[in-house]
Structure 1
Amino acid sequence: MGELASLDIAVIIAFFLVICGIAAYYSKQAGKDTGEFFLSGRNMPWYIAGTAMVATTFAADTPLAVTELVAKNGIAGNWLWWNLAIGGMLTVFFFAKLWRRANILTDVEFVELRYSGKSAAILRGFRAIYLGLFMNAIVMGWVNKAMEKIFSVVIPTYDPFTLVVITALIIAVYSSASGLLGTARTDSFQFVFAMIGCIVLAVIIVQQPEVGSLTALREKLPESTLEFFPTIGNFSAGSALNGVFALSVGAFIAHVGLQWWSSWYPGADPGGGGYVAQRMMSAKDEKNSVFATLWFTIAHYAVRPWPWIIVALAALVILPRSTDEELKFENHQYYEISQQVFNKGTLSSSDSEIAQTSEFKEYYNKYENTVDPGLMYPKLMLMYLPAGLLGMLIAVFLAAYMSTIASQLNWGTSYLINDFYRRFIKREADEKHYVIMSRVGI
C-alpha cells in the first residue's frame, strides 16, 4: 500500500509531459499582450471556454468534499451547493452576453465602467487586492491542503507537503509561460482526462463483490441515503438526522430564495464573476459566451458529480464507519491516540507502540473514515485499482489540482496587474512590460 509501480510512475510522467507540451506550444502567442495573456485574445470557442470553467471548479478537494457530503447527509447533501445552479442559469440567459459585450479585461474593471469618481477607483483597487491576493490565497490554501491529504494517502512514503510544493512550482512555470491561452487548453485536456478516470474508478468499484452492481448498491443502503431531495420539516436548520439531510422550512426558503444570490464564490457568482467572467469575456463573441456558460452550468451541476456520488455510496458499503460516541465507547484509549495521530500530535513511547498494532490500525481506519469521510475516496483507489490505473487516478487528482491552481494564479494576477498595478502604479507602460509583470506576479 502506497508503493507505486513503474507503470503508475510512467503514467504520471506522461501526464506531466503532455501538460508541459501544451503550455509550451501556446507560450509565444500568450506573450503578445495582456489581452492574449489573460483573455486568450478574446477568440476562445465556447467548448474550450466552458470546459475550462468546469475544470477550474473541479479541484483536488471536490471529489473528497462530495464524498463527505454523501457520507454525512446522503445524496441530498449536495443541495448545499446544487442550490447555486439558480444563479448559474441566470448568468447563462441574462449576463453571459453582457460580460462579453463589456469589452473589459476583468470583472473588477467593471466597477469603473459602471461607476465613476474617486470612490469607484478606490473600490476597484480594494477589490483587486482583496480578491486577487487575500481571497485567492485562501482558496488556493484549501486546495493545497486537499492535495496534501491525497498525497498522504496514496503516496505515504514521501512527504506530502514537499510533493505539493513541487507540483505547485510546475504549475507556476507553465501558467506564467502560457497565460490563459495555454491554461484554458490544458484545463480542457485535464477535465476530459479527469472525468474518464473518475468514471473508470466508479465502474471498477461498483463491480467489486462487496457492492455487486448499482441495483445491489441500492439494496444495501438505506432509502434515506438515496433520497435526492432534502427532508423539510420542523427541526433545527441544516441538521443531519440519521444520515438524512434535513432542513427546516426557514432554512429551505433561505437556500432557495436567498443563498444562491447573496453568496460570493469564484465559479458560482450570481450573474457571473471571477474566472467564470474571465472565460465569458475571452469567448469569440456573445453567442459563444452564452453557450460556454450553458455548457459549464450543465456539466458542473448535472454531469460531473455523479461518478463521485457513486463511489461515495459504494464507500459507505465497503469501508467501516461509526459515530464519535460509538468510537469513544468502543475503546476510549484508542480514541485518544487516534486524535493525536490524526492531528499529527506527539505520541508517548507507549502510545507509539500501541499505534503500530494491527488492532489499533483497524480502529484508526474506522476513526479516520468517521471524522474525515472524504478520505474514503482515495482509499478505494488504493484498495482496488491495479498498476497503471492507480497512476491514472493519481494523475486525475493532479489534473484537478493543476487546473484549479493555474486558473487561480492567472485570474488573481489579472486583478493585481490590470486593476491595481496598471491602474495606480504604472499607467503608461507598453504591453510587453505588463506581460512581463504578469509572469512575475504568477
Structure 2
Amino acid sequence: MRVLLSTYGSRGDVEPLVGLAARLRESGAQVRVCAPPDEDFAQRLDHIDVPLVPVGPSARALTVAAPPPSSLPERAAAVIAGQLEAVTAAAEGCDVLVATGMLPAAAGALSVAEKLGIRSVSVTFQQLTLPSPGRPPLAYPGRPFPPEVTDNRVLWGLDAESINALFGAALNTNRASIGLPPVDDVRDYVIGDRPWLATDPVLDPWQQPADLDVVQTGAWILPDRRPLPAGLEAFLAAGAPPVYVGFGSMPMLASQDAAQVAVEAVRAQGRRAVVARGWAGLAPIDDRGDCFVVGEVNQQALFGRVAAVVHHGGAGTTTTATRAGAPQVVVPQTADQPYWAGRVARLGIGVALDGPTPTTESLSAALRTALAPETRVWATAVATMIRTDGAALAAQLLLDAAGR
C-alpha cells in the first residue's frame, strides 16, 4: 500500500503527519509526505525514515513575513499551483491521499487525487472549520462577519461565501489547467462527505450535527523517545520543577519584552524557567542561572517534568501538555488558539489569558492559579483520559479503505 500525506502550514500541521506516517510504516505501507521545505520538518520526517516532498516556500519565512490579509487570494493561487505540481508527481502510484493544512492547499491536493482517481481523505486538526449550528465559524483576516448577525447557520453561510471569494477563482483556474470542472463551493469540496477530525474527544468533544458525518480518530502523536539534552537534564535536576515557556510557530511574540514578561512572571512565583526559542526567537533576558533556553526538544519528556506549561494554544502543544498532566497557561494569539485556551480553562487544567499580549502581572496571576495544587490534581486526572491510539486508528482506517 502506498500513501501520500499532504499539507501546507506550520509545525502543528506537519507534526501529526509524522505520527501517522510512523504508524503506517509499522503496518508495512510506503509513505511520502508533501510539506513545506522547512529544515525542522525535514528532520522530523528523516527521524522516521519518511521522505519529504517539498512544496511551496518556507512556512516559517512566510509566517514571519506576515503578509497583509489583502494578499491572501494571490498567495492561495500560488499555494494551489504548488500543490498541483508537487502532489501530482508524488501521488503517482499511490492508493490513498490524505489532505490537510491550510484550506487552499487541501483543495489543491484533493483536486490531484480527483484527477488521478485516487481515494482521498480530508483531515482537520481542529473542529472550528467544520460547520456546526452549535458555534460560529472563524472569520478570515480582513473579512469580519457583520456584528449584527448572530445566527450560527447564517454565519456559516457567510463563511462559505467568504471562502469562495478568497479561493474560488484560484482553485478553479488551477483545476481547469488539469482538465477538471469548476467547484461551486470550495469549503464543501474540501470537507467532503466524511471528514476526519484528528483530535482527542475529551479535550475536543465533537457534537455531531445531523448533516455532517465526522470520524474523530483521536490526536496523531508519535511517541518521542529522544533523550533530553545533557544540559537540560542537569538544569532539571538542580532544583524544583521549572515552568516551561514557549510559543511554537508564533512569531508575534518575537520581542525582548515577551521574554522579559514571561521570565519575570515565572520568577515572581519563585520558579525557574525553561524557555523555548521557537519561531519567536525568545532569548535569555540576563545571565542569571535560573533560566535555561532550548531549541528543538522532546516536549513529551519535558512536559512531564515541569511545574506548568506556558504556551500559545496550538492543538499539538495543548494535547501534549494535557497528556503529560502539566497545568497550563495559554496565551492565545490567533485562529483556533482561543478555542484551545477555552477548553483548557473549562476542563480546569489551566488558565486562559484574555488577550494575546500578557503583562508581568497578568501572567504572574495566571501562573499562581496554574501552580495551585488543585490545578495539578485536575491536570493529572484528565491526563489519564486522553487517548493514545489516534494515529494507530487512523492508519488502520486507511489500510481498510485501501483494501476495499
- Which of 1 and 2 has higher RCO (CA within 8 Å, sep 6+)? 1
**Which of the two has greater helix per residue?**
1
Give the greater-gyration-radius structure (CA): 1
What TM-score do the two structures reach when normalised by structure 2? 0.31
What TM-score do the two structures reach when normalised by structure 1? 0.29
